[in-house]
């Protein structure tokens, strides 16, 4: 497949230059064969398809550093596996940000034993997550690898053939993205299947040095990735597809009709429509001990269920916003 490497000073200018040249074969394939319609306030398919097409063929490009190669490799796997796209609801994103998961937890052990999806593209609401370089992160490509399942991490389709890269540990999770400034963020970690401990080397795979702010930001993204997988695995939500009406800007009074050609829609990652933000009112008086409005952070708890309470089930204790009642 033809490779096009575009050097530009931002992601937007890179994409514009790429599309102006006509893109590459993969870009034309993605536009025709997938034809995704994506909700408002999320990165749109034309832009995302361009990003995928620029990066996916570069997994064995010799001039790139390891962070770029691994990001490209995982994006290529998403393509050849025809893996799904999920749109993370803004309300659920906020709740994840106010939930603690820790670093060593048996829930991680149980997660890897029944991982819900091996490859996915997670779309984030626009302008909600800001990287240390000032760019917005509007998508995360997520991949799980397992030495016992090399088929999860290899494939051949659409003219690209990513090969299996044997990981250092048995089970590894990775995410990669390109923020709106054009910075590539990649992170990978292993999970010990015996005790659920997260194993991660404190090194940078890219050419740029990782500072304290970068490390903190990467940990936040790692927590978000883990919670999305935990939510799919243990909460087992009904992942409805995005509707046509959610992808258009309704103007005037004339209803917009869904196009006749074949269209694909991402899946929603959100709670049921009946779920609402939990708000607890606290009456305040003149005492200095009265609480100010704040989040009571969420966590995950293992509960006894079933006949005789012998079975165990993970439950998400959701964060609660405690509001003062003046």
User: Residue 307 — pLDDT band, cuts 50, 70, 90?
Assistant: confident
pLDDT at 7: 45
Output the pTM of the full model.
Answer: 0.88
Helices (H), 169-275: 212-230
DSSP 259: P
> Do 211 and 87 fall into the same domain?
yes
In a domain, residue 274? The reply is no
In a domain, residue 26? The reply is yes
Tens-place pLDDT, residues 190-229: 998 888 888 887 666 666 677 888 889 999 999 999 999 9
Burial group, residue 114, by CB count within 10 angstroms (0-12, 13-18, 19+) = exposed
DSSP 160: B
Computed over its alpha carbons, how large is the radius of gyration of the chain?
A: 21
In a domain, residue 244? The reply is no
- Looking from the CA of 278 toward its CB, the CA atoms found within 13 Å total 12
User: Residue 286 — pLDDT band, cuts 50, 70, 90?
Assistant: very low
Tens-place pLDDT, residues 150-167: 999 999 999 999 999 888
In a domain, residue 91? The reply is yes
> Do 205 and 314 fall into the same domain?
no
In a domain, residue 104? The reply is yes
pLDDT at 303: 84
On the question of pLDDT at 251 being above 80, the answer is no
In a domain, residue 182? The reply is yes
Q: What is the mean pLDDT of residues 64-84?
A: 93
Angle in degrees, 0-180, between the axes of helices 45-55 and 25-33, rounded to the nearest 10: 140
For the record, the structure tokens of 272 come out as: 């049921």
Q: Please count the structural domains in the chain.
A: 2
Q: What is the mean pLDDT of residues 160-189?
A: 91
Residue from 213, 218, 202 nearest 132 by CA: 213
Q: Show the domain range for 299.
A: 279-325
In the chain, the N- to C-terminal Cα span, in Å, equals: 65
pLDDT at 305: 76
In a domain, residue 319? The reply is yes
DSSP 241: B
Give the number of other CB atoms < 10 A from CB of residue 101: 18
Helices (H), the chain: 11-20, 25-33, 45-55, 66-80, 90-97, 106-113, 212-230
Domain endpoint, select from 235, 253, 288: 235
Residue from 306, 326, 298, 325 nearest 95 by CA: 298
> Do 168 and 34 fall into the same domain?
yes
Domain endpoint, select from 182, 204, 235: 235
- Dist. CA 182–CA 171, nearest whole Å: 29
> Do 126 and 17 fall into the same domain?
yes
């Amino acid at each position: 497949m033809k490779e096009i490497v575009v050097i530009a000073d931002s992601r937007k200018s890179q994409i514009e230059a790429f599309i102006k040249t006509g893109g590459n074969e993969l870009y034309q394939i993605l536009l025709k064969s997938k034809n995704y319609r994506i909700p408002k306030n999320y990165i749109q398919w034309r832009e995302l398809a361009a990003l995928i097409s620029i990066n996916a063929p570069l997994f064995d490009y010799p001039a790139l550093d390891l962070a770029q190669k691994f990001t490209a490799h995982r994006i290529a796997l998403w393509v050849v596996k025809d893996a799904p796209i999920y749109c993370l609801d803004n309300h659920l994103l906020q709740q994840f940000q106010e939930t603690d998961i820790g670093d060593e937890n048996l829930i991680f052990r149980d997660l890897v034993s029944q991982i819900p999806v091996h490859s996915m593209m997670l779309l984030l609401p626009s302008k909600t997550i800001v990287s240390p370089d000032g760019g917005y992160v509007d998508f995360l490509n997520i991949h799980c690898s397992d030495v016992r399942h090399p088929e999860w991490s290899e494939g051949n389709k659409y003219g690209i053939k990513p090969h299996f890269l044997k990981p250092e540990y048995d089970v590894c999770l990775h995410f990669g993205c390109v923020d709106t400034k054009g910075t590539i963020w990649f992170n990978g970690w292993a999970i010990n299947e015996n005790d659920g401990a997260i194993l991660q080397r404190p090194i940078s795979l890219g050419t740029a040095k990782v500072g304290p702010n970068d490390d903190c930001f990467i940990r936040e993204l790692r927590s978000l990735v883990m919670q999305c997988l935990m939510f799919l695995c243990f909460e087992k939500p009904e992942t409805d597809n995005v509707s046509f009406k959610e992808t258009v800007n309704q103007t005037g009074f004339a209803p917009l009709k869904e196009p006749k050609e074949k269209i694909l829609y991402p899946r929603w990652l959100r709670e049921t429509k009946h779920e609402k933000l939990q708000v607890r009112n606290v009456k305040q008086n003149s005492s200095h001990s009265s609480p100010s409005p704040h989040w009571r952070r969420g966590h995950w708890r293992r509960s006894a269920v079933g006949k005789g309470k012998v079975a165990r089930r993970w439950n998400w204790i959701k964060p609660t916003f405690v509001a003062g009642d003046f």
